[in-house]
Amino acid sequence: MPESKSKLLIPVVGATVVVAGSLAAYMYLRGPAGDSSGALGSAKLVPSTALMATYITTDPQAWDKLKQFGTPEAQKLIAKNLEDFNKQISKDGDISYEKDIKPWVGGVMVAMLPPNAAKPAQFNTTTPGTIPPIASQPEPQILMVVGIKDKISALNFGNKLKAQKGVKSQDIDYKGEKITETKPASGQPTYSAVLNNSYIVFSPEKAPVERAIDTYKGQASFATKEGANSILSKGAEVKNSLAQIYIPDYPGMVKQLLAASPQASQINPQTLKQLEQVKSMVAAVGVDDAGIRLKAVANLDPQLNKFQYQSTPSTILGQFPADTFALISGQGISRGWSTIVEQSQDYPEFKQALEQVRAQTKLVNIDLDKDIFGWMDKEFAFGAIPSNQGILASVGFGGAWVLDTSDRKTAEATLTKLDTLAKAQQINISTRKIGGKDVTEWQIPQQGALLAHGWLDEDTLFLAVGGPIAETLANSKTQTLDNSNNFKAIAGSLQKPNGGYFYLDMDRTMTLVNRFAQQTQQPIPPEANAILSSIRGLSMTANSPDKSSSQVEMLLALKPSTAK
């Protein structure tokens, strides 16, 4: 994802997390009640202009599922944070989540509405020597729709809130509906309205509440927006859904947010065109026996989608040892490179940089397109493997790149050119037999092999950082990664077929992280260590059944609870 898009989406997601995060965190331990079937009903009160919406379920079965995970230290930490949150709620009064909020709250939908149009700064004639005020950039508006499952409890909470010390409230009539403005002793006012005695609409600004009332009285809603109804009703399939995110018009959302951004003029028009590939998107987070799972489905425009998806057989995983702690695999580097080259025509600066790299490799008689990327046409994987031997003793691990090719002749010619270049730099090149395979090593005096390469079979090449890693790959006498219990627990439940894996074994990774922390005398804080120790690993994959859709699945594999 381009950096500009990444910077744009961070505040979008952040806004949703800030508004709904506290409620979601409390549900983890306290187990509120409700169900996840209210997304469509809540969406009928959200204006059709909404850019995206997130629905958080309050189904106790879904949230209780989280209790089966985590070390005692992690659960104590979460319990303490939630206790602090509860104290913050009742700091200025006697509001209790358990008694006053939990009994009546159903599902919660958080919608992001377009920002208000920027208003020019109003000021008198500027006095000489003074700086005129700077107009602030408009921000997206937030609207919350909270389901009411116990009307009496909700009414009691509203009355109790109004009676809080220092809280002032007034009712404002809007088209026959009552909007309540609540002003705390300190801070900004908030606005809310009860609609049909079934929902409370809430916002830090009055305008979103007014728009919700307009929608309630018949104006177009998010539920009727083109593309929204289908993703609202279908969603992304996960067990024990905690939250669903709906973006029915992805290009429209990005364009409206860019229109309010001061950096909008800096974005290449071709980048905006790329965004049009994604028509809509839906994502879901749920909990199952393996941990927390996220699935996202994007509907694509097949006419604009230039990416040629290929599923991988995943046989390359069998070339890595079971103790591999990090891995990325995929298919067809050459095809991906061709797509990048084609799209570089639309980006002059990137095209210029690409031509410069090509020119540099030509100086050493290497064709970047043919000699480097051209023969990488099959499955590949990058992996990190622990080792305390030889040149790797100081860092504790080495790296390996294993890839299949249908053009061994070109691959061998390229490796020969690279070996020749290394010799010119006074690096000693030697060859030896490991496990019956010829392995070429780049030797560093007094330290051993820095790099090594060889063929595991007729069309499978490996390149290793560190001689010990080359020995591990060439000997192939140990259990393989794909047959290991850790890989099966962390990545084995991901969708198949797929385009490759991202895999991270947290325990083995943390062993190295703690080692570096000790060396630098900067230990990991106990709070962070408690959370990380509850994670078994992280995995992710993607597939594309056709050119009109793409699916991503991610699993945060958690360790079972050991609490007594």
- Is 541 a residue whose pLDDT tops 60? yes
The encoded tokens of residue 379 equal 């499955």
Contact predicate 504/325, CB 8 Å = yes
DSSP 36-48: STTHHHHHTTSBT
* Number of Cα atoms under 13 Å in the Cβ half of residue 58: 21
What pLDDT, on a 0 to 100 scale, did the predictor assign at position 79? Answer: 73
Alpha-carbon distance of 146 to 104, in angstroms, equals 10
Average pLDDT over residues 475-486: 90
* Lowest mean pLDDT, pick from 69-78, 198-207, 403-412: 69-78
Contact predicate 72/258, CB 8 Å = no
**Model confidence band, residue 164 (pLDDT cutoffs 50, 70, 90):** confident
- Is 20 a residue whose pLDDT tops 60? no
What pLDDT, on a 0 to 100 scale, did the predictor assign at position 448? Answer: 83
Which DSSP state fits 489?
A: H
* Number of Cα atoms under 13 Å in the Cβ half of residue 152: 0
Contact predicate 212/222, CB 8 Å = no
Chain centroid offset of residue 375 CA: 32
* Number of Cα atoms under 13 Å in the Cβ half of residue 55: 32
Chain centroid offset of residue 136 CA: 29
Q: C-alpha angle with apex 11: 7 to 13, nearest 5 degrees? A: 110
What pLDDT, on a 0 to 100 scale, did the predictor assign at position 137? Answer: 62
Numbers of helices and strands, H then E, in the chain: 16, 20
Alpha-carbon distance of 557 to 292, in angstroms, equals 7
If 0-12 CB within 10 Å is exposed, 13-18 middle and 19+ buried, where does residue 75 land?
Answer: buried
Give tens-digit pLDDT for 206-241.
999 999 999 999 999 999 988 787 788 777 889 999
Contact predicate 410/373, CB 8 Å = no
- Is 32 a residue whose pLDDT tops 50? no
* Number of Cα atoms under 13 Å in the Cβ half of residue 394: 2
CB atoms within 10 A of CB 306: 12
In angstroms, how far is the first alpha carbon of the chain from the final one? 44
Q: Which 3 state secondary structure label does DSSP give 229?
A: helix
Alpha-carbon distance of 109 to 111, in angstroms, equals 6
The encoded tokens of residue 204 equal 């830090």
Give tens-digit pLDDT for 34-73.
343 488 899 999 999 999 999 998 888 888 888 888 877 7
Average pLDDT over residues 425-434: 92
What pLDDT, on a 0 to 100 scale, did the predictor assign at position 6? Answer: 36
β-bridge mates for residue 454, sequence order: 439, 462
User: Taking every pair of C-alpha atoms in the chain, what is the biggest distance, in angstroms?
Assistant: 87
What pLDDT, on a 0 to 100 scale, did the predictor assign at position 266? Answer: 66
The amino acid present at 135, given as its one-letter code, is: A
- Is 109 a residue whose pLDDT tops 90? yes
In whole angstroms, how large is the CA radius of gyration of the chain?
28
Cα dihedral sign for 405, 407, 412, 414? negative
Averaged pLDDT score across all residues of the chain: 84
pTM: 0.85
